[in-house]
Amino acid sequence: MKIGILFLLLARTCIGDPIPPSQECPEGWLQNLEHCFLFGSDGLGSWAEAKEYCEEKGGFLAEIPNEQTNTYLADNMKTDSKLQKKWWWIGANDIANEGKFTWDNSGAILEFNAWDTKQPDDWQKVGGEDCAALYYGQKGYYWNDMPCSGLTETITFSWGLWSFLGGYPLCQKDTTPGIQKLFGCTDGSNCKVALQTHHNKYVVAENNGQANANRDKLDIWEIFSVTFIGENKVQFKGHHGKYLVAENDGTVNANRDQAGSWETWTVETKGIGFAFKSVHGKYLVAESNGKLNANRAVAGSWEIFKVVHLNGETRNGEDQHNGQWNQHLDKVGSLEIFGGAH
């Protein structure tokens, strides 16, 4: 019998729950670590137009914080002739404070730059220059400050004609860490967590199929295997292999063999923790009397849970009492508590 139980436990652990794809950039964007870049297709324009273009795409004008990112962009321009001999607006500008370049989106002062020699020069012959752009041409790759408006008139110099019609947008957006990462779980791992309530109790999946929020101690019945659905949805499977379900009447049970929409919770990060919204549009709540419901319209403090991630091995121990095998949590590698803030 003991072997049978062990086999069941192992089987449950080994049959992997589906793992969502890692956080990827939208189609058409280049991916560099957690950053996505888009060399915009829209034509020459002002820095402000480029900024608007990026914002319409859900991003911002690119920020280049270090050599690694800069090299990545330069390498892309080097290998793609379509990106060459064009000015690409980035977020760096000194519009607000001449000579003090900051990044438009973050507001941060430039800690890294790749200015061409003698740049930025705020060239007065073209009315000053406050907006940074990238260029890849005959002498390679560099940054320069350029007239933000573009469309400068053609100016005749002793060495020839000069004009600047504007730049193209180089946009950025960053992938958000998936819920999986926020829970402390890594790709491919069997993610096990406990939910700690506002009242410092743990959510428990009872053997009889009920779910409560009244346990002081973290043990085997308070541990759930998490299945991640897409970017922000989870399902919780209790120790007994039953899923946590939000019933239509606002109660919560832990008695479903299969997970469908009622067993799927949308995760919202809430500063110090996470809120879990049911398919019925109600939040999971840990009541002060130890009950667990899913009947709140708004997520306040009682609707916020901390996720306790169990790192490393968790072994299921077994003791025999009165002829029955009782399982208990033998060992937890380490515990880490995750809140929503990151």
Binding interface with Ca ion (CB under 5 A): 94, 119, 121-123, 129-130, 144-145
Choose between 119 and 314: whose C-beta lies nearer to Ca ion: 119
Q: How far is the CB of 144 from Ca ion (least distance, A)?
A: 5
User: From the CB of 148, what's the least distance to Ca ion, in Å?
Assistant: 9
CB closer to Ca ion, 167 vs 340: 167
Residue (4 or 99) nearer to Ca ion, CB: 99
* CA angle in degrees (0–180, nearest 5) for 130-134-135: 125
In 224-309, alpha helices (H): none
* Residue number with CB closer to Ca ion (10 or 155): 155
Angle among Cα 128, 129, 130 to the nearest 5 degrees reads 125
Separation between Cα atoms, residue 339 and residue 74, nearest integer Å = 38
Chain centroid to Cα 220, Å, comes to 30
Residue 126, φ and ψ in degrees, nearest 5: -110, 20
127 vs 177 by CB, closer to Ca ion: 127
The residue nearest Ca ion at its CB is 122
Q: Whole-number minimum distance, CB 93 to Ca ion, in Å?
A: 8
In the complex with Ca ion, which residue's Cβ is closer, 119 or 232? 119
Shortest CB 160 distance to Ca ion, Å? 17
CB atoms within 10 A of CB 146: 24
Lookup result for tokens 């940054």: 143
- Tokens 């009315």 correspond to 127
Cα distances from 151 to residues 40, 52, 291, in angstroms, run 18, 17, 66
Count Cα neighbours of 61 within 13 Å in the Cβ-side half-sphere: 25
- Minimum Å distance from CB 97 to Ca ion? 9
> Which C-beta is closer to Ca ion: that of 129 or that of 303?
129
Residues 6+ apart with CB under 8 A from 262: 245, 246, 247, 248, 256, 278, 279, 280
Report, in Å, the least distance between residue 96 CB and Ca ion.
10
Q: Smallest distance from the beta carbon of 56 to Ca ion, in angstroms?
A: 26
